Structure 1
Amino acid sequence: MLQFQVAITLLAFIAASTFVLSKSGAAIVSYHIVFAIGIVPLILGAMVHFLPVLSRSKNPGKFIRLLPVIALFGGFLVTSYFAYQQALSAGRYVGATTIIIAVSILGVWAYRLKVNAIGKPHPCLDWYLAAMLCLFIAVGCIIMGYFIPEQRAALRILHIHFNTLGFIGITALGTLQVLLPTATQRSDPEVAARMRKHLKWVVAGIVITACGTAWHRNFAWIGVMLLAIPLFDILKTWLKLYSNAIFKVHGAVPLLVAALCGYSITLIIGLIHAYHQQNFSPVATFIIAFLIPLV
């Protein structure tokens, strides 16, 4: 199933690129092809694969393994709405509801794995739970916009931030810290303690950045500074432990570190966009600087 999700993600990137080149003004459709069809189901599929490992539990059942596919269907509906708004006027709400149901079931399953884990589960499981909560909030903002239309602009900003910096960012940052010791074949004895310490700063930073950008942008920089605390600590540790592997011209390690740097660049571009230069696109920066090295 995970191989299927990877193939869909690659096709989504190709389709989004083709759509941008062939049709002007289609950025929002392309973004949803990348995120709703490509990235979100892939991440959920990866979580289904890794969560039993993190909690030392048995493999998931068929229904749990189908949840990423259900989310993919929801992503198709949401994306189709932006491509054909008149024909599929309710598509985004039906699609958003479908994704919320899928991620809610997956979140409950993940929490039960944590509670019933043999021994203490890996802290990356908590990062995945936080990421799923961010996705729940992000998609929920779409539905909330129907009931409070006067807040749609702010809810759209929340939707973008909790999707990118939140769901995708938390998942990737947590996974990177677990994968890098494996990729370098050198252990990081402090990674578990560091992840437990950093999660609160990451979550607080994302919430303040998102809410500040949505309602009072002068507070957004506070969230970015909070996010900078774990990012700087992670990068400092990686340079100390894996500098030889990081500066190689090939292999997975330089790409993983490049993704971390790309996440940081996205935060900077986002601040510039909020305060000075509206022509900058934080979402495009996120895709190019953060997602592409990971993919």
Structure 2
Amino acid sequence: MSKTAKKIKFKLQGFNNLTKTLSFNIYDICYARTAKQRKGYIEYIDEVYNAERLTQILTNVAYIIDANILNIARQDYDPQGASVTMLICEEASISLDSKISTDQEPGPLPDAVVAHLDKSHITVHTYPESNPHNGISTFRADIDVSTCGRISPLKALNYLIRNFDSDIVIMDYRIRGFTRDKGGRKHYIDHKINSIQNYLAKDTKSLYQMIDVNVYQENIFHTKMMLKQFDLDNYLFEIKALDLSQYEREKIERDLRREMMEIFYAENIPKI
């Protein structure tokens, strides 16, 4: 990592042209026993994460990362799913010499939202689906926060993870392009970063097992997270573990764990 990445001391020639993009997939895993329950789960997800609710979540993301909202487009889909796209830009009142924190520290949790949005875009797309063969249902939310300038999408990580029932989170952070200082020298990064994990709150990190794959020389950072603890009741839709036989509980737990491992490692695991 270059020395200029450790502290911002250089004076820019005009606007900061670096593009910082945080992309991640959030998965919620569930077991719905019957076709009616599977249909009910999809309807529940569509209601809880409809376009209106997603718009409010993304609006709060904009506030967290100090950006202004320029335009919003949103859509609920038939039979299921929703999308929201926001055009954003850096806060107009921020001058070139003002300080914006780029420290590797957690951003606010859901009950501590402050600020505004501005400079590129935020998008979310939801994908509820169900496996008719084993009753496993999954809800995936794909979220992209892309900013130009000094504002950082990483500050919204904890808020987003807490706003979805996140069993698995797969995150990518990349800095693209370059910006110039007044001497004409190119700068390919404007803040220090060792890992996306450094932007997660301690209590969030304690809940997940995590794997990093980072390509520092390319300013590419990748982190995968999967919940450590497993309580079957947290994964059952409209039924309780006590309502099931021991055989059913063991089979459902095996199927749920296999589903989570397959998503986490991105490969199909043979049944034992």
Short-chain TM bin:
under 0.3
Q: TM-score, normalised by structure 2?
A: 0.24
State the structure with bigger RCO (CA 8 A, min sep 6), 1 or 2. Answer: 2
Q: TM-score, normalised by structure 1?
A: 0.23
Q: Which structure has greater strand proportion? A: 2
Q: Which structure has greater helix proportion? A: 1
Q: Select the structure of larger CA radius of gyration.
A: 2
